[in-house]
Amino acid sequence: MGTLYLVLASILWGVVHSVLASHTVKAAARRAFGPLADRLYRFSYNLFSLASFLPILVMLFTFPDQMLYSIPEPWVYFSALVQGAAFFALLAGVMQTGLFEFAGLTQLAGLEAPAQLVTDGLYAHVRHPLYTAGLVFLWAWPEMTVNRLAVWIVFTLYLLIGAHFEERKLLKEFGVEYAAYQARTPMFLPRLRRR
């Protein structure tokens, strides 16, 4: 039963997270609160996302669970190396797009610049490096349990589906520029050889 609660909570979190990230909800906030919405939205969104994710983490680590596998030595060190690389790729991707902007602090201070499409660095190899790195980090976890597997599957589906919705938003925002970027850059997995 604990696994079912975890799955439902994770799905609910993903749906709410996606709805709040939509242009429709942002536009509604702008109509309701005016220019203040632009300054507060990203920061408030991040705070809400973190706060609403905490119950899932608590359930994940406290609900009764069953071990499926544990990566033995020396392979566990390789797993740790892969997770470390994924963590640094996540960090590099966030830094590349702007840490303070990602956190919503730039907007909060009223210093937000017009949006620019980032296509260099990690983004020259894949369109969604944060999603790719996040998935690698999850699936390289050295110990897999029933609850963890259920949550990992939900979040994998969430990221894959969410990326398609994000693509639509980016096409609407950047138009032909993003369409050209889509044509030359893979979504999640980098090409072994550049064109």
Q: What is the distance in angstroms between the CA of the first residue and the CA of the last residue of the chain?
A: 50
C-beta separation of 90 from 133 below 8 A: yes
Per-residue pLDDT of the chain (195 residues; tens, 9 = 90+): 789 999 999 999 999 998 998 888 989 999 999 888 888 999 999 999 999 999 999 999 999 999 999 999 999 999 999 999 999 999 999 999 889 998 999 988 888 778 889 999 999 999 999 999 999 999 999 999 999 999 999 999 999 999 998 999 899 999 999 999 999 999 999 987 655
Q: Residue 111 phi/psi, 5° resolution?
A: -110, 15
CA angle 114, 120, 122 (to 5 degrees): 115
Q: How big is the chain by its Cα radius of gyration, in Å? A: 18
- Please give the model's pTM, rounded to 2 decimal places: 0.89
d(CA 73, CA 77): 7
> Smallest Cα–Cα separation from 86: which of 132, 154, 32?
132
